[in-house]
């Protein structure tokens, strides 16, 4: 079974600085998808970024980018120019579309606090 590990339960960063959240996963498969979701105090789960494993280019979405290392099974999220609104739980998730499956497996999350 696939597993997702987020080794940093909590992190903090100063406003305007850059922070990187770590995620590793365990799979023997070759084609899969990886995601980062954000859950602010409002508890709404928001999709931040998606990466297809067959793509070598790292995904970016404005201030959010990933460092996808397939061989190392690592998928870190970099947040540049951190803003107070980035304070949230961040969840890494894995999806292996075997037979059309859409089952997401989530990590335990990292609580990020952006300090003014």
Residues that bind another protein (CB under 8 A): 33, 35, 37, 42-47, 50, 91, 95, 97, 100-104, 106-109
Looking at beta carbons only, is 13 or 33 nearer to another protein? Answer: 33
Nearest distance from C-beta of residue 17 to another protein, angstroms: 28
Looking at beta carbons only, is 18 or 40 nearer to another protein? Answer: 40
Rounded to 5 degrees, what are φ and ψ at 99?
60, 25
Looking at beta carbons only, is 5 or 18 nearer to another protein? Answer: 5
Structure tokens at 45: 């789960």
Distances (CA, A) of 112 to 9, 28, 88, 100: 9, 30, 5, 33
Q: How far apart are CA 107 and CA 84, in angstroms?
A: 23
Nearest distance from C-beta of residue 22 to another protein, angstroms: 17
């Amino acid at each position: 079974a696939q597993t997702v590990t987020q080794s940093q339960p909590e992190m903090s960063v100063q406003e305007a600085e850059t922070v990187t959240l770590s995620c590793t996963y365990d799979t023997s498969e070759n084609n899969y998808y990886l995601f980062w979701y954000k859950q602010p105090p409002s508890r709404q789960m928001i999709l931040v970024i998606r990466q297809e494993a067959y793509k070598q280019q790292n995904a970016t979405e404005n201030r959010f980018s990933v460092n996808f290392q397939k061989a190392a099974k690592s998928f870190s999220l970099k947040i540049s120019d951190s803003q107070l609104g980035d304070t949230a739980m961040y969840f890494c998730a894995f999806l292996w579309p075997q037979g059309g499956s859409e089952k997401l497996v989530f990590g335990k999350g990292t609580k990020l606090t952006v300090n003014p």
